[in-house]
Amino acid sequence: MSNRVVQGRMVTPESLAEQVEGESILEAEPIEDADRDCPECGGDVISVGYMPSVTAFVTAYKCQECDWAEVDRD
């Protein structure tokens, strides 16, 4: 299980990736703790790697406490 609570809601790797991406994604890896704090509120940041399409792999970072999110598309 790699489900986490984000902003009071349980998320799976897939639902977290889709929340950050804004649309459906193909596949997501387990959620991990990112070694960084949220620049907006100082909360804990988690990361999830996922494939938004068959040719792309990106890593999303999401604060567990607020709306802050960032996608590293290399």
> Of these, 29, 65, 70, 71, which contacts Zn ion (CB under 5 A)?
65
31-36, long-range: CB within 8 Å, 24+ apart, which pairs? 31/2, 31/3, 31/4, 32/2, 34/61, 36/61
43 binds Zn ion (CB under 5 A): yes
Alpha helices in the chain (DSSP H): 13-21
44 binds Zn ion (CB under 5 A): no
40 binds Zn ion (CB under 5 A): yes
Nearer to Zn ion, 43 or 49 (CB): 43
> Of these, 29, 49, 66, 70, which contacts Zn ion (CB under 5 A)?
66
